Amino acid sequence: MRKIFTLIFATVLLAGCSNMMDAVLNELTDETPKNKTVEEDKEIKTVSDAEVENELIDLENPLNEREIIEKMMTKQRELKKPGFIKSEKDIGDIIIRYFTYNDTFQYSSYYDLDLGLPLISYEGGTRYDKEAMKEFKGEFVEEKKLDHDSINGVYGLYGDSYKRYEMWGESDGNIYNITLSEEEDPDNEKAIELISKSLKTEEEGAYDPLYKALNLDTENIKFPKLHEEYVELDGAAFMYMGYNEKTVQLDVQYRIGGSDTITYSVSDQELEVYEDIFKEDEVVKTPGGIEVTIYQHNERKDRIYQWTDGTHFYQIEMWIMDKSLLKANDVYAVIDSAMQDDRKFENKDIFKAINTEPALGKNEKALEKLFIKMKK
């Protein structure tokens, strides 16, 4: 029951991730993810060069996805994060998102420390502005001023029908929110205060397990070589789903011709496809010799393409509009261009942790003692 509640709690608090919603539905309905292993006798269709358009491809001067990923990772490093986290075992999920259209980003995570302790949700970034924070602060039943060196915030009992403890604060343009899953209790009020007071940057001593969890060979990640005249970058996301399969996933979203959307994913594991939504359609071999499994949406024109280069697992999810400019066969050129990609990240240090353990101060030590009391 705790596992199911945890998944629901995380999904509500980290809204915006369709993969997490699929995981929740899977837990509640006992549906088994579709087995994507291709049988040896499966018919494979070969696509010729003549069947593929290459207008979307620019091999000489393509869009630079790595630039926005580096920007996203740099921004998240500057956030004030929970200073008491010691291990990747404490993580439920982490999601980092960067939106190019308004240059905003969001870091969301939740922590499941132990039985007997409340689930902890954390969010920081520029997704919300000060006006939004004023509106959120209006939901406090009781609020107290947060005593923090650089965060202007309040904490206390929050909500109407479902009461819990929250903190909302602002520092250097970033808005912070912390939520405890449990209802009214004196220990929880003290916990939200100490958790909030522990917030610090990595430079100040916070340890973020996401770097250790980032199980991708970042030197050899491949992206498509897309033409900036036809394609726009909508954003990027990094996800660590630590509660079940401990999956790492890096997403880049593109907009084709201003309407069609492609989400390009790289993962350390095969990505799940749920047969209640998609069905396996066919297996094809691209002109470049890449074997691709295709899944068709049961009700819409949307499609999923999956393949591997032997190091990472890749996926393209196409959201097709009624009057789409994107043809299904265009995706094969996109896949082949990606598998030819030999570009590298300029700043390799963005994927490396500053600290291998947290610098524990008086707030973190007081919080440890409180957690021991709460578990009894």
Contacts of 274 (CB under 8 A, 6+ apart): 22, 25, 26, 31, 33, 34
Question: Which position has the higher pLDDT, 248 or 43?
Answer: 248
- 335-357: per-residue pLDDT in tens? 999 999 999 999 989 999 999 99
Question: Which position has the higher pLDDT, 5 or 147?
Answer: 147
Radius of gyration of the chain (CA): 22
| Band (246; pLDDT cuts 50, 70, 90) | confident
pLDDT of residue 162: 82
pLDDT of residue 217: 93
Q: Which amino acid is at 310?
A: G
pTM: 0.84
- Pair of tokens at residue 266: 């790289």
Question: Which position has the higher pLDDT, 31 or 211?
Answer: 211
Q: Contact 262/318 with Cβ under 8 angstroms? A: yes
Burial pattern 352-364, b for ≥16 Cβ within 10 A else e, equals ebeeeebebeebb
Q: Which amino acid is at 20?
A: M
| Band (42; pLDDT cuts 50, 70, 90) | low
Question: Which position has the higher pLDDT, 134 or 311?
Answer: 311
- 203-221: per-residue pLDDT in tens? 999 999 889 888 899 999 9
Sign of CA dihedral 219, 223, 228, 233: negative
Contacts of 206 (CB under 8 A, 6+ apart): 80, 81, 82, 83, 85, 199, 200, 355, 358, 359
The yes-or-no verdict on residue 11 having pLDDT over 50 is no
Per-domain boundaries in the chain: 1-32, 38-62+223-340, 68-211+352-375
Please give the torsion angle defined by the CA atoms of residues 18, 216, 3 and 317, in that order, rounded to the nearest 10 degrees: 20
pLDDT of residue 213: 85
| Band (222; pLDDT cuts 50, 70, 90) | very high
Give the chain's mean pLDDT.
85
- 285-336: per-residue pLDDT in tens? 999 999 999 999 998 888 999 999 999 999 999 887 766 667 777 899 999 9
Contacts of 148 (CB under 8 A, 6+ apart): 169, 196, 197, 199
pLDDT of residue 329: 77
| Band (52; pLDDT cuts 50, 70, 90) | low
Q: Contact 20/10 with Cβ under 8 angstroms? A: yes
- 80-110: per-residue pLDDT in tens? 999 999 887 778 889 999 999 899 999 999 8
pLDDT of residue 13: 42
To the nearest whole percent, how much of the chain has pLDDT over 90?
59
pLDDT of residue 327: 75
pLDDT of residue 38: 44
